Structure 1
Amino acid sequence: MATDAQSGSQRFLTMTLGNEIFAIDIFSVREILDYTDITRIPQTPEFMRGVVNVRGSAVPVVDLKMKFGLGEVERTLNTRIVIVEIRREDTVSVMGALADSVKEVLELETDRIDPPPRMGAAVRADFIRGIGKHGDRFILILDVDKVFATEEILDLSHMLGETAPPAGGNDEISTNP
């Protein structure tokens, strides 16, 4: 995770999936879109909702809630698609993460982030980078490179092309109002 060496803190974008709060490293986030029509691609897993048009490029969208076995993201006024960059070797792919809502950019002190708990071989939790403490709540910090590393996602990303669509801005996260 990218760390601010002076303050020992890290910045994350927080989002909700059901009643749980998840976070991803702010440096992985390219932009946040309002929910838009998603074109379904046949013969893909249920959690692969389809693709959206991001400035002329087809970007695959994963329903994180379904992927984690928490149900399905329902379309509301707060539903968002978080566009993230996935780094794999020397390639950058762009993926969409469907979430119930996006909350805030949160800065956590590194000493407030614990490693993920060991839950035994039967439970796959390698996509969790850590667990942050904020107030009286826990925030599950995701490793986007591992969340989007399944074969189905990699195959779809490859099928659609490895080139990332042009960024909406420079170093700032852009939002689609």
Structure 2
Amino acid sequence: MHDKNETPPMNENKFISFTISGQTFCVDIMAVREIRGWAKPTPIPHSPSYVCGVINLRGTVLPIVDLGARLGMPSTDPTPSNVTIVVQIGDQLIGLVVEAVSDTLSLKDSILQPTPEIASETSKAFFKSLVALEGNMIRVIDLTTLAPAAQMSAAA
């Protein structure tokens, strides 16, 4: 039986999932502009340790971020098998270095769970939600927390 006060079905969101250090993460597919093979970036002096450098993407200077290092995990030692996910965060394009892109996921709002209260404030800031799917715990990354420029404009 259906309750008359039952809420209508939740929206379905699409995500791109990928791995870092054997763990699964995902980002909103609407923020992904392209997925590229690894290209060695030009280092930028005095940049944060998680910034690998910049590359020329069809005339645009694209900062490349080691997503593992940005999330407080071990730094990725990029190889030709690594992938760069180009995402749009506000007005800024950023390349995120990951081990591999896994899948496209369609997830209903109802299975997206909040980050537990016992997580550190830093963890809660980076992750919008968690999803238990097929024996995996997948973290949904809040892209606005990744880029320093994006953080400052979000705080304004």
TM-score, length of structure 1 as denominator length: 0.74
* Residues 1:62 and 2:71 are matched in the alignment: no
Shift of 1:96: 0.8
> Counterpart of 2:128 in structure 1: which amino acid?
R
Shift of 1:147: 2.0
Bigger radius of gyration? 2
Q: Residues 35-54 of structure 1: matches in 2 within 5 Å?
A: 35-54=38-57
**Which among 6, 23, 30 is matched to residue 20 of structure 1?**
23
Please give the alpha-carbon distance, in whole angstroms, between the structure 1 residues aligned to 2:108 and 2:132.
9
Partner secondary structure for residue 76 of structure 1? coil
Shift of 1:70: 1.3
Which runs of 5 or more residues in structure 1 are unaligned?
156-177
Q: Are the equivalent residues in 1 in contact too, given 2:24–2:138 (CA < 8 A)?
A: yes
Q: Are the equivalent residues in 1 in contact too, given 2:145–2:151 (CA < 8 A)?
A: no
Please give the alpha-carbon distance, in whole angstroms, between the structure 1 residues aligned to 2:51 and 2:101.
20
TM-score, length of structure 2 as denominator length: 0.84
Shift of 1:75: 2.4
**Which among 102, 122, 125 is matched to residue 124 of structure 1?**
122
Distance 1:109 1:78, change over 3 A: farther
Question: Hey, what does 1:101 align to over in structure 2?
Answer: 100
- Report % sequence identity: 24
Note the aligned Cα RMSD (angstroms): 2.0
> Counterpart of 1:53 in structure 2: which amino acid?
N
> Counterpart of 1:85 in structure 2: which amino acid?
Q
